[in-house]
Amino acid sequence: MIEKTELQAQIVRAAREVRETNPMAPSITNTVTINFVANAQIAVGGSAAMVYLPDEGEAMAAAGPALYINVGTLLPVYEETLPRTARALAATGKPWVLDPVAVGIGELRTKLLASFKEQKPAIIRGNASEVIALANLWGVAGDGGASQVRGVDSTQAVDEARDAAVALARYTGGAVAVSGVVDLVTDGETVAHSRGGSHFMAEITGSGCSLGGVCAVYAACAETPLAAALTAVNVYNLAGARAEAKVNAPGSFQVAFLDELYRATPEDIAANPFDLEEA
């Protein structure tokens, strides 16, 4: 299990390198929050580029150091785009982030998410219900438990997804981030709990999607998927808490949150409260 001080040093280095090198982390993501994803990626120091077509997904897999796939609002062309992009990513070994939004709803969604088992995303980002459902879909959690996905919302607490998250991370060799009141991030060996954030993050759309996009930005620079995911989760908890201290309604929160993502320093991000335990 990694030491906390070492993980904090990795967080500082990842956040700093992102600010210095402005990595492009292209996305194939849903239309609801696509603007917020791009603005969040830019606010932490990265660059955004979104595509829908199969050969453009492949071009992005070739051009970007890391990529983000979010299956929120599937379009028919995704049936070809997502497998071709995931295969291109797997072929290059580049890290990519999967957000299995609303896993379980619809035939194409299930088929695509099942197929990603082969390409092993470096980071899986979801709410508790989605992480449990994906572990069940992939058959990696002996006792994954029942998932209760309701549209895009979770009806379950983060720690109910602990076993599923650990099992998924062990299977992929990457990291899994489960979003909730206290966020859980694991690489299958270490389990981190990161604190902070704001109730407003569940009262605007796009906190989760944009966190996935920001995971991809950090994955472009971080030493491990765990460090990338925890850097992203920490900056979200930090910015959420700071924004909530300044505003008291969700429209203002959204603006203040982007502002605080932009202001967070690498040292601030590493210092956001989190603790580690054995998986």
Given candidates 7, 12, 24, 88, which one binds a second copy under the rule CB under 8 A? 24
Helix (H) or strand (E) holding 186: strand 183-186
- Using CA atoms, how far apart are residues 130 and 149, in angstroms rounded to an integer? 6
Establish if 148 lies at the interface with a second copy (CB under 8 A). no
- Name the minimum Å distance from CB 108 to a second copy: 6
Given candidates 3, 20, 31, 139, which one binds a second copy under the rule CB under 8 A? 31
The interface region with a second copy, picked from 9-17, 28-36, 129-137, 213-221 by CB under 8 A, is 28-36
Given candidates 3, 203, 267, 277, which one binds a second copy under the rule CB under 8 A? 203
Given candidates 2, 9, 105, 157, which one binds a second copy under the rule CB under 8 A? 105
Q: For the residues of 155-166, what is the DSSP string, one character each?
A: -S-GGGGHHHHH
The interface region with a second copy, picked from 44-52, 87-95, 123-131, 166-174 by CB under 8 A, is 44-52
Q: Which amino acid is at 88?
A: A
β-strands 153-154, 149-150 pairing: antiparallel
**CB-based contact 74:112 (threshold 8 Å):** yes
Given candidates 140, 220, 238, 258, which one binds a second copy under the rule CB under 8 A? 258
**CB-based contact 123:174 (threshold 8 Å):** yes
- Name the minimum Å distance from CB 112 to a second copy: 11
Structure tokens at 143: 């006792």
CA 256-259-261 angle, to 5 degrees, is 110
Q: Collect contacts of 254-258 with beta carbons under 8 A, ≥24 apart.
A: 254/36, 254/204, 257/198, 257/200, 257/201, 257/204, 258/39, 258/40, 258/43
Establish if 241 lies at the interface with a second copy (CB under 8 A). no
72 vs 196, beta carbon nearer a second copy: 72
Task: Give the count of beta carbons closer than 10 Å to the beta carbon of residue 248.
Answer: 9
The interface region with a second copy, picked from 24-32, 131-139, 186-194, 217-225 by CB under 8 A, is 24-32
Given candidates 18, 257, 266, 272, which one binds a second copy under the rule CB under 8 A? 257
- Name the minimum Å distance from CB 34 to a second copy: 5
CA distances from 151 to 100, 101, 102 (A): 12, 8, 6
β-strands 123-127, 96-99 pairing: parallel
118 vs 246, beta carbon nearer a second copy: 246
Which residues partner with 27 through β-bridges?
A: 50, 68
- Name the minimum Å distance from CB 1 to a second copy: 37
Residues that bind a second copy (CB under 8 A): 24, 26, 30-36, 38-39, 42-43, 47-53, 55-56, 59-60, 63-64, 72-77, 102, 105-109, 150-153, 203-206, 249-252, 254-260, 262-263
